Structures are given as structure tokens and as C-alpha cells.
Amino acid sequence: MASLYERLNQRAMDAGVPLSVHIDLTWRCNERCIHCYLDHDDAAELSLAELRGLLDQMADAGVFFLTLSGGEIFLRKDLREIVEYARSRGFDMKLKTNAIMIGEREAAWISAAAVHQVQISIYSHRAEAHDAITKVPGSLERSLRAIRLLRAHGLHVVIACVLMKPNVNDFAGVQSLARELGAEFTIDPTITPHWNGDRAILGLNIERADLANLFHTESLVRDVDAFTAPPPPVDDSILDGTPCSAGHTSCYISPHGDLYPCVQFPLPCGNVRQTRFLDIWKDSAPLLEVRSIRARDLTTCSSCNHVGTCTRCPGLAFMEGSMYGPSQADCEKSFVRTGIPSENMIRRGRTDFTAMTPLIQIRPTVQSDVLR
């Protein structure tokens, strides 16, 4: 049975409603994480007045879920005004932050504003490992202090752990830390290219054997047999499906007002300083093209056994050359998860398909609530 959110998302898609918007308030940051995909300039950020006008337009357009992120959002001196105004317009709000600037006063007003969720990145339970990734000495201690303050005020905190080579063995420690702090835990094993297209940071991606270990960890995937099962037969209902909600029910807006289908999908679709939000949403030619794409339109992927269950990201595919094409990282995930090579891997002449065979057993695919 589809979840409440899945049913809501489908109704929004059918009605053409932008259900969810992610806004980066700034790209400035007080950390310098080694895997970060953003620049850190502060040029021409949307002002408080511009953001209030944008939030009004979004509310009128039917947006319900709002994520405020960065950069580091607490570097905006007007963050409290932004959050309180957004709440006055009725958005269900998530804040993404490294939390090192959150003290008692900040925790109190976040709670008073009835923010639904605060997501905080924790890379390791070991200070030396976490701080080496953020390049800020003492950052783990400060983030954990903030989590305790937020939890003391009754706030829903999500600890998000991006897994990469330097912290590959630390996810269990972070998960245990989240449990101790009364926080939710999510993990993401995919490093994405820099916003400018630079792919050098992809070298931080974990090795195949480590990815296989994640996919066979019950506390992350819940039902290992179901999670690692082969994909079901491909039929017309799958081929007629939309590859992703990006641009269909959700979008991303940069600190400078540029609108994209997703934060990981840098296809320019308009600028909210020049065009009203709803006009971009309804009339942008790039967005209309994104919405026209069905699974059967995908080159290579449409003939792949994994097309109905793959986590394929059209943004990553776009950065690899075409939003109609495959995403190498997601091909790898599908193979490691099931032991079955993707059509793209076969066409590219990959010969290392047997590497995972001893780890895989023939096992209905489910998505994990923890593993992203």
C-alpha cells in the first residue's frame, strides 16, 4: 500500500502542483567539507523582502513542504525572520544546518516557530574523523551540543551521514549516537559532482565491497532479503512512469533566485527575480521537457531490467551528459544491491560482474527508510 506521502505526491503530480520546494538561503558556509558540491560565494543573495515575496507566491501556488538549506543558513542574520514568516504562511518546514551556531536561544525560537524537522550532518562519532571532513576543529562537539539542545526543546532532529572513504567504517557509530540522542538517522553513500561540473570529488565514493556491506546491514535496509531481491519484470506501467519527482512536484531555488528541477539537477529553468514562481513552474520550457520524460524515453535505461527499481537520479545523469541517459553511480548501486548488471554496464563493456556474486542471493525490492 502506498504511503500517505506517496498518495499526496501522486495527487500533486496529477494536478500539476509544486508540492515541495528546497531553497538555499546562502552558499556561504563556516565549514569546508571535503565532499561539498557547492561554491561558497555570497554574491547577490535573495533579500528578506524578496524571500517574503517568493514565499507568498509559493504559498499561493500550493507549495506545502519547504526546506531551507545552504551553505550554512545560520550565517543569514535574518534567518529567524525568514523562518517565522514562512511558518506564518503555513509551510511544513525542514531546516538543514551543521548546527555549530545553534545555542539555547536559537533552539528556543526554532521550537517556538514549530519547525517540523532539523537535519544535521554528522560524519563520524569520532571527533578526529568528523572534524577532518568539515575542516573545523571542534565541529563535532558543537554540533552534538546543538542536537541535545534541540531535542531538549522537543524538536525532531535527523542526523544525516554522508558516507565516503574517510568515514566508511563509522556509520554504525553515528547510528548508535543518533539512537542515544533520540534522533532519526539517515545515510547516503553517494558523492555527487561539484555544481560547476568538476568530478574530482567523486574519488571519495566508497568501494563496491563497502557498498555491498551497507546493502546487507539489516539496521539500514530493514529487510535484507527484500532489499537485495532481483527486479520484477518490466511492463508498460513501469515504462509509462515518471523517472523522478524533480520538476514534477518539487524544485530547487538557489540563493540567487535561479530555479532548477532539483539541487542535484543543475538545469536552469528561470529566475524568480525576473519571473513569478508560478509562471516558471507552469511555462518554463526546460521544466516542461523534464515533465514529458517517461521511463520508456530513457536511452539505455528503458531496456534495463532495473528500470522500475533503480534509484537513477536524472540530475546525475544530466551532469554525466544527458538527462535521458543513465547515472553511473545508480547503475553501480543496482548491481551491488542485486548482483545483476545494468544494461548500461553491459553496453559499456564492463567485465567485473562476478565481483559481487558471492555476496548476493536471489532474494521483492523495497526502499529503505534509512539508506538514501
pLDDT computed for residue 356 by the predictor: 46
pLDDT attached to residue 40: 79
Query: Sheet holding 270-271: strands in order across?
Result: 184-188, 157-162, 117-121, 92-97, 65-69, 20-24, 250-253, 258-260, 270-271
The pTM score is: 0.92
pLDDT tens across 44-79, in order?
999 999 999 999 999 999 999 999 999 999 999 999
In this prediction, residue 209 carries a pLDDT of 95
Q: Which tens digit of pLDDT belongs to each residue from 187-222?
A: 999 999 988 878 899 999 999 999 999 999 999 988
In contact, 97 and 83? CB cutoff 8 Å: no
Cell numbers 520484477 correspond to 232
What does the block give as the cell for 111?
521550537
Task: Tell me how far the alpha carbon of residue 371 is from its chain's centroid.
Answer: 11
Q: How far, rounded to the nearest angstrom, does the alpha carbon of residue 358 sit from its chain's CA centroid?
A: 31
- Judge whether 135 and 100 are in contact, CB under 8 Å: no
Per-residue model confidence (pLDDT) at position 366: 32
- Name the percent of the chain lying above pLDDT 90: 83
The 8-class DSSP code of residue 47 comes to P
Does residue 146 have a pLDDT over 80? yes
Mean pLDDT calculated for residue range 32-44? 87
